[in-house]
A and B are shown apart, each in its own frame.
Chain A
Amino acid sequence: MSGQAPEPVAVLETPIHVDYSFTAGLAQSRFLKGLAEGRFLGQRCPRCKKVYVPPRGSCPTDGVPTTDEVELGNTGTVTTYCVVNVPFQGQAIEIPYICAQILLDGANLAFMGLIQEVPADQVRMGMRVEAVWVAPDELGPTMSSVKYFRPNGEPDADYETFAEYL
């Protein structure tokens, strides 16, 4: 090439919208129906006894169906977290917000949840939290039924109690 920059390639933006049906399967259907009732339903592995919430219907470690249903409480521990301060398209929550790994009491796997009602710089690993649900008439088979988690006022959990869940 003789030093002349080539013409830019033409780029077309073609937004598309795709609707799809999500088939949750037995275990996740139970979990999602639980959310519609304001409850966390998990499943225990019959072999290793670990409790999965949300349940996936089988234990990833043992490869056996998780058939025993376990209802978990409303409280848990923040195992670790980050403060999200990045704006991007489609964001539904005002920044900065706390994205935390929350280990529900009695569960053996943490899941990601939003923490509110506490300044971002006061969130801690080990902080005890409780779920805040949407109004009863707004409950549905979705994680959006949980508005967020907030500190429940209990003293922080010892690091040792959640170290293996990091």
Chain B
Amino acid sequence: MGERCAVIGVGQTKHAAKREDVSIAGLVREAAERALEDAELSWADIDAVVIGKAPDMFEGVMMPELYLAPALGAVGKPMVRVHTAGSVGGSTAIVAAHLVTSGLHRRVLTVAFEKQSDSDAMWALSVPQPFSAPLLAGAGGYFAPIIRAYMRRSGAPDHIGILVAVKDRKQALKNPYAHLHMEDISFETVRDSIMLWDPIRYLETCPSSDGAAAMVLADETAAAASPRPPAWVHGMAMRSEPTMFAGRDQVNPKAGRDCAADVYAQAGITDPRGEIDVAEVYVPFSWYEPMWLENLGFAPEGEGWKLTDSGATALDGGDIPWNCSGGVLSSNPIGASGMLRFLEVAMQVRGQAGEHQVDGVRRALGHAYGGGSQFFSMWVLGDDKP
């Protein structure tokens, strides 16, 4: 991997349906300032900025990184924009980490955001094209048939998706930054919510959020000078595959399996369930928890739902807590959602997750995916130097 790299500062906004008090520039600056504050650094200490967001068409601001440069202290500094759809928050962090591991920079600020209240993602994801039917079904219409295929293939009972939806919303109550704080969430409220994209219920889907995430990544020397414990990058990887090809397994995509295998090999992990203490995994629809449990090697194929059903993935009493922050199901500023996964595991490793902290975290997995399940990015962080 070259030079060592560590997370030495994290910052995120309070995620909300509509942040009327800030523009996009104000939103990203809020997260970035908090990351600098956490690292006890100033703008002048940053060598380069790496920024990501979901497709520009969402907010309708083309190449927003250009106008955001002043808000991010990037004027006169190298600035890189990353595009990998919903996985972009993860990919952005990895690109930033590469600027450190390559030896090019010592301290890199990485930021990701979405201001969904300024945008119409449903519309942006449903643009008609002459060679496909004008179904305009949005992301749910794309993923619901894949979930149905998983349910058929694995024989998972209908209540599994409900369990995940309840668990992640309960965990979100312990995260002050989470968008949804649903005090009265219960099995019944999720079960009785409307089927938006049958088999996906309303409360089994992620919200639309405004929000941003930021991290300061540092090389070994800069990390040594950091006031708080660094979270070291033990492995990071990205993989992609075409959206459509004959024989593609959309339920358990090969790019995801390959990406996990790579990142585990780098981190020396052979038994993910045994060796990873906590994971933040991109689960925008509740059923993606059991699906990704299999794709990421925490359970054999067809058996991910049994781990969910047994409570293994819960912060309260589970041996492999997933999405202690409440996950994408509780906050979904799309472009930032992947970075929040990467950032939350840094908080877990550094012991700064507050009420949703898991005790004694030494290894943690952050995960993001995007597009038609064709972009994957992951990293494993540890409390010790790799």
Contact = CB atoms under 8 A, between A and B. Distances in A.
A164 to B, nearest CB: 6
Nearest to B249: A166
A90 interface: yes
Interface string A138-166: 00011110100000000000010001101
Contacts, number: 136
Contacts of B194: 85
Interface residues of A, number: 54
A82 B145 contact: yes
B140 interface: yes
Contacts of A166: 146, 149, 152-153, 249-251
Contacts of B250: 166
Interface in A57-89: 59-61, 79-86, 88-89
A159 B147 CA distance: 16
A32 interface: yes
Contacts of B270: none
Interface string B134-145: 111110110011
Main secondary structure of the interface of B (DSSP, over half): loop
B377 to A, nearest CB: 21
Contacts of B147: 82
B26 A9 contact: yes
Contact of A100 (B134, B145, B196, B199): B145
B246 A52 contact: yes
A119 to B, nearest CB: 13
B359 interface: no
A26 interface: no
B200 interface: yes
A84 B247 CA distance: 26
A61 B130 contact: no
Given A82-B140, A84-B141, A86-B197, A143 B132 contact: yes
Contact of A24 (B23, B26, B131, B134): B131
A38 interface: no
Contacts of A163: 153
B38 interface: no
Nearest to A62: B245
B130 A22 contact: yes
Contacts of A93: 135-136
Interface of A: 5-6, 8-9, 11, 16, 22, 24, 28, 31-32, 48, 50-52, 54, 59-61, 79-86, 88-93, 96, 99-101, 108-109, 111-114, 120, 125, 141-144, 146, 159, 163-164, 166
Given A84-B197, A100-B145, A166-B152, 7 more contacts: A24-B131, A82-B144, A82-B148, A88-B122, A143-B133, A166-B249, A166-B251
15 contacts: A6-B21, A9-B21, A9-B23, A51-B246, A54-B132, A60-B242, A80-B146, A80-B148, A81-B145, A82-B141, A84-B140, A108-B247, A141-B130, A143-B130, A166-B152
Interface of B: 20-23, 26, 60, 118, 120, 122-123, 126, 129-138, 140-141, 144-149, 152-153, 194-200, 242, 244-247, 249-251
